[in-house]
Amino acid sequence: MGSKNKLKRFNENETFPNVIQPTREEVINNFSYKGKWHSFFKNDKPIVLELGCGKGEYTIALAQKNPDKNYIGIDIKGARFWRGAKTAIEEKIDNVAFIRTQIELIDYIFAENEIDEIWITFPDPQIKYKRTKHRMTNSEFLKKYHHVLKEGGTMNLKTDSEFMHGYTLGLLHGEGHEVIHSNHDVYKNEGSPEEVTSTQTYYESQYLEVGKPITYIKFKLNY
């Protein structure tokens, strides 16, 4: 994407009522929406997050299928989720918002027990050992997710990385968390939830074209 296109999207994001782009300082110093997300949506519906939402395809698809829930996509690359934010406005999907920020700040953005469910879709597996701290299902990230999730809140990991799938399963079992569902090839093995197989991102469709299996884990965190 050219710099002019990026700049145009950044500027357009500034005008979108469903996009929030705080500075790191604003997030860390008593972020205004922390604990008050229901006032942003003007309802008391459950709140679901998609972390690393990319273009927002999954966030949008889930929001359309579940108007009884609010959805928030988070990504540091605003030029990407511009597409999802614009689609939500054009199609009048009012249960969607996007935040441009780092995922490691999640416990500054949301209050304890404020979130009902979290989706992580096709994250960078960060395969090298020295990149473990950046892996979105490592122990430190799981603790942050547990902090913002309500009691009994669920996590979903959908990935094309067999490494990420295996790493996460091993960590969950090792730390005593509850694996509700695990599938190492959601389109060939039966039993995957409909929302896992009925929605495909742009990159997911590319993975499928070359025969790459898509894996999925649904789990609860026990601390």
Residues with catalytic roles: 124
Centroid of chain to Cα 156: 9
User: How far is it between the farthest Cα atoms of the chain?
Assistant: 49
Tokens of 177: 């968390």
DSSP 8-class letter at 40: H
Cα dihedral value 136, 205, 180, 195, nearest 10: 120
Amino acid at position 206, single letter: Q
Contact between 116 and 49 under an 8 Å Cβ cutoff? The reply is no
Q: Which residue has the tokens 């789990």?
A: 219
